Amino acid sequence: MSMFEEMRANRAQQAADRRADRAQTAENRRADRAAEREQDRTDREHRQAQRAQRGQQRRARLATLGRWVTARPVELAMAAIIVVPALLAWTAMATYGREIYGPIGVLLPLFTEAAMWAFAAKLHQARQHQAPTGWLQMGTWAFTAVAALLNYIHGHALGGIAVGLVMAVVSVGGVVTHQILTAAPMQARRSRTDRQAARTQRLAARRVTRMERVALRQAVGELGTDGTVSLLHQPGTVTLARAWTGRTRLDRRAVPGLAADGPTSPATPVADAVEQWLSVQPDPATESSPTDTDSTSALEWAESGADLQESTPAPVSIPEPNRRSLDTLRTELHRAVSDGVEVDPTSAESIRKTLRCGAKTARRLRDEWNDGSAAVAA
């Protein structure tokens, strides 16, 4: 190939490369413009979706606000009654303070209006938490009176008594309305029967308190090893009385059907001692007849084991009962339970009444039954 042909081929190749580059550049530009258009479309759709979402949220808030307003017409009316007088009184006091103290006098409502509203808000909070409200109520009405007085003086200076009264009423109208709305609800009037029952309960509570105080004065103390003292009271039925000195005391008073010192156990030490002696005696079926020696030993044993009174008659004058051994009583108890007799083997009182035995023997039979030995012995 000659030099000229080679140069011509090179120029042709270069021209082809330039055409290819221009075509590629144009293609890239078209792709970039298409991508930009797609991005613009995506951004536009996103903005439209955001605007639609914000519109829905705005409409939802407006609907919620509308429902809230519709559901609270009375509260909104009361709010207007509270807010409007507060604004009027605030501006009036600011003007009055500027006339008296100069430019800094615009802060006068912070003493008159703000003070009574602060006490009113704190009073409402205390009522919600069921805290004491006495001093807060006094503070609220004290600053309310101060605000009414200052507004009356201001109005009287401007236009006489009528203007003063109007400004005084307007200044305290909001707080008065607020206190009426937030005050504790009035209780329904109780019936005559309920009032009498409540009065009776109060009288009973006061009498109990008086008797407890007198009992505290009459109590004795028990000193413990650690130095502490425990108060001890003597139980019984008592009533209030006055000594000749006029001091209240507790006197014992017998009540029909009730012992003066409270209920007592029907079993006595003597009965327990006799029952214990009878339980250890042999079965009368194996004995021919009771002897005087047995009676004498029973008397001596009972006197040594229990604190018998001297007026107790001699046992020899009492006919000896038909004694049953413990094994016999066990057999009778087992037979009564098997026959369906109304007896509770886990109750000593039920065993005593059914078998007609002593309380101590009944307790022993009950304990044996609970331990499982009664059934085995039977």
Nearest to 143, CA basis, from 93, 99, 68, 215 = 93
What letter represents residue 85's amino acid? P
Q: How far apart are CA 13 and CA 5, in angstroms?
A: 12
Contacts 24+ apart (CB under 8 A), 354-357: 355/329, 357/324, 357/329
- The answer to whether 119 and 147 have CB atoms below 8 angstroms apart is no
Q: How far apart are CA 211 and CA 250, in angstroms?
A: 7
Residue 361, classified by CB atoms within 10 Å of its CB into exposed (0-12), middle (13-18) or buried (19+), is buried
pLDDT in tens, the chain (378 residues): 577 777 877 888 888 888 888 888 888 888 888 888 999 999 999 999 999 999 999 999 999 988 888 888 877 888 888 888 888 999 999 999 998 998 898 999 888 888 899 999 999 889 888 888 889 989 999 999 999 999 999 999 888 899 999 999 999 988 888 888 887 666 667 788 988 999 999 999 999 999 999 999 888 888 888 889 988 888 888 888 888 888 888 888 776 655 545 544 444 455 555 566 666 565 554 444 444 444 444 445 444 544 444 444 555 444 555 677 888 888 888 888 888 777 888 888 888 888 888 888 888 888 888 776 544 444
325 Cβ neighbours under 8 A, 6+ residues apart: 282, 283
* Residues facing residue 220 across a β-bridge: 232
DSSP helix/strand/coil, 340: coil
- The answer to whether 260 and 245 have CB atoms below 8 angstroms apart is no
0.75 exceeded by pTM: no
Residue 248 confidence (pLDDT): 86
Longest dimension (CA), the chain: 173
What are the backbone dihedrals phi and psi of residue 240, each rounded to the nearest 5 degrees, phi first? Answer: -80, 140
Residue 293, both tokens: 């020696």
Of the chain, the end-to-end C-alpha distance in Å amounts to 142
Residue 21 confidence (pLDDT): 85
- The answer to whether 90 and 147 have CB atoms below 8 angstroms apart is no
- The answer to whether 143 and 116 have CB atoms below 8 angstroms apart is yes
Residue 209 CB coordination number (10 Å) = 10
> What are the CA-CA distances from residue 114 to residues 107, 117, 174, 179 (Å)?
10, 5, 12, 15
Residue 51 confidence (pLDDT): 92
- The answer to whether 147 and 112 have CB atoms below 8 angstroms apart is yes
Residue 104, classified by CB atoms within 10 Å of its CB into exposed (0-12), middle (13-18) or buried (19+), is exposed
Residue 161 confidence (pLDDT): 92
Concatenating the DSSP letter of every residue in 206-266 gives HHHHHHHHHHHHH-EEEE-TTS-EEEE---S-EEEEE-TTS-EEEEE--BTTB-TT----S
308 Cβ neighbours under 8 A, 6+ residues apart: 270, 302
